[in-house]
Structure 1
Amino acid sequence: MFRALKTVSVQRWPWLVLALSALLLLLAGLYFQYQLNYQPCIKCIYVRVAFFGIMLAALLVTIAPKQAFLRYLGVCLGGAAAVYGVLQAHELVNIEQVLASGGFTTCALFANFPTWLALDSWFPALFAVTGTCGGVDWQFVGLSMAEWSRFILAVYGLIHLLVFISQLTKPNKNPYL
């Protein structure tokens, strides 16, 4: 399995599919924000940053997927973004559960990006915080947007882990095995 995965990882199309899937999820978030008026909280913005990081990492590998350095860099950056996103989404799920049980909790009202990466200042339409944490305005098959984000980011993280492990194997001579 790992040899086949390594063979696939040196091709451009899987990375484009990964980047496209993350882009579609980002666009879905923007649709919820600007068309359905579900305003993102700080945790939502951090989850959005994770999807953005996965997309950028995949695009980085797309430049030259046969170059091991770019592939390792993209896999590590994408995996780190996925883990970061899972942690942020998990915190948001916890906030949602506390509020649903009648408790009280709050989160920051402003993003805490480093000055060298002030995404909320550079791209406010994408990364500005306009809502508060904990409101469950949308559900699909019983899961909130935060729970779906946590699940999807965990899948992305698993994919990145498997691709990372596959890089330690020798590729198949026959790419169809």
Structure 2
Amino acid sequence: MLSFFKTLSMGRSGWLLLAFSALVLELVALYFQYGMQLQPCVMCVYERVALGGILFAGIIGAIAPSSWFFRFLGLIIGLGASVKGFLLALKHVDYQLNPAPWNQCAYLPEFPQTLPLDQWFPYLFKPIGSCSDIQWSFLGFSMAQWILVMFAFYSILLAIILISQVKAGKPKHREIFR
């Protein structure tokens, strides 16, 4: 199994699939915001940034997947972004399941002054809604819970691919019965 994931990480198609899946999820988020008129909160904006990190990791890995440097750089960026996204989504679910005056997110995002994404790209990163509001659900789970599952999947997948990198090259075929 590990050799499959290592082979997948050494090809460009796996990295492009990672980038494409993150891009599709970003576009779905924009559809929810502009098509369905759901207002994103601060945590939603932070989760979009983490998803953008996974997209960036897919692009980095696709540059030169046979190079160990670009593979590891893509894996580290992607795994870091997916774990951070998981932790953000976990906090977002906590805001929704335990609403209280002392358990609320900020109304304005706290981006670094050198990277004010909410000012550069307000159509993507400007929060309007409240974190404790559940505006959409599917199969009994809120959007934040689905995002938690998504980031958990990305984290597990990228961790397995990172572990597979220490696996030796192609498996040697034993010819026992020849």
TM-score bucket of the superposed structures, by smaller chain: over 0.9
Mapped partners of 2:40, 2:93: distance in 1: 14
Deviation at 1:116, TM superposition (A): 2.2
CA distance in 2, matches of 1:169, 1:25: 31
% same residue? 41
Structure 2: how far apart are the matches of 1:69 and 1:42?
Answer: 34
Unmatched segments (≥5 aa) in structure 2:
173-178
1:63 alignment partner in structure 2: 63
| Higher RCO structure, 1 or 2 (CA under 8 Å, sep 6+) | 1
Asked if residue 135 in structure 1 is aligned to residue 153 in structure 2, the reply is no
Correspondence for 2:160 among 148, 159, 162: 162
Equivalent AA in structure 1 for residue 18 of structure 2: L
Report the Cα distance in structure 2 between the residues aligned to 1:120 and 1:170, rounded to whole angstroms.
44
Deviations 1:47-86 (A, max 9, x none): 1111111001101111111111011010000000001111
Structure 1 segments, 4+ long, off by >6 Å, are none
The two structures have a TM-score, normalised by structure 2, of 0.92
Tell which deviates more after alignment, 144-153 or 2-11: 2-11
Distance 1:88 1:167 in 2: 28
The count of aligned residue pairs is 171
Q: How does 1:86-165 map to 2 (within 5 A)?
A: 86-99=86-99, 103-104=100-101, 105-165=103-163
Partner of 2:24: 24
1:9 maps onto 2:12 in alignment: no
2:85 paired with 1:77: no
Distance (whole Å) between structure 2 residues aligned to residue 134 and residue 86 of structure 1:
17
Q: Provide the C-alpha distance between the structure 1 equivalents of 2:134 and 2:33, rounded to a whole number of angstroms.
A: 14
SS in 2 for 1:171: coil
**Matched position secondary structure for 1:129:** coil
- 2:3·2:171 contact (CA, 8 Å) conserved in 1? no
Structure 1 unmatched runs, 5+? none
- Paired letter, 1:147: Q
Once the two structures are TM-superposed, the CA of residue 128 in structure 1 deviates from its matched residue by 1.1
For 2:39, the equivalent position in structure 1 comes to 39
How far apart are 1:41 and its partner, in Å? 0.6
Give the Cα separation in 1 of the matches to 2:70 and 2:143.
Answer: 32
Aligned partner of 2:50 in structure 1 is 50
TM (norm. structure 1) is 0.93
C-alpha contact 1:4 1:172 (8 A) present in aligned 2: no
Please give the root-mean-square deviation of Cα atoms over the aligned residues, in Å. 1.2
Larger CA Rg, structure 1 vs 2: 2
Instruction: Provide the rounded CA distance (Å) in 2 between the counterparts of 1:168 and 1:117.
Output: 35
TM-fit CA distance, 1:112: 0.8
Native 8 Å contact 1:4 1:171 kept in 2: no
Q: What is the letter of the counterpart of residue 151 of structure 1?
A: V
Q: Which amino acid aligns with 2:152?
A: A
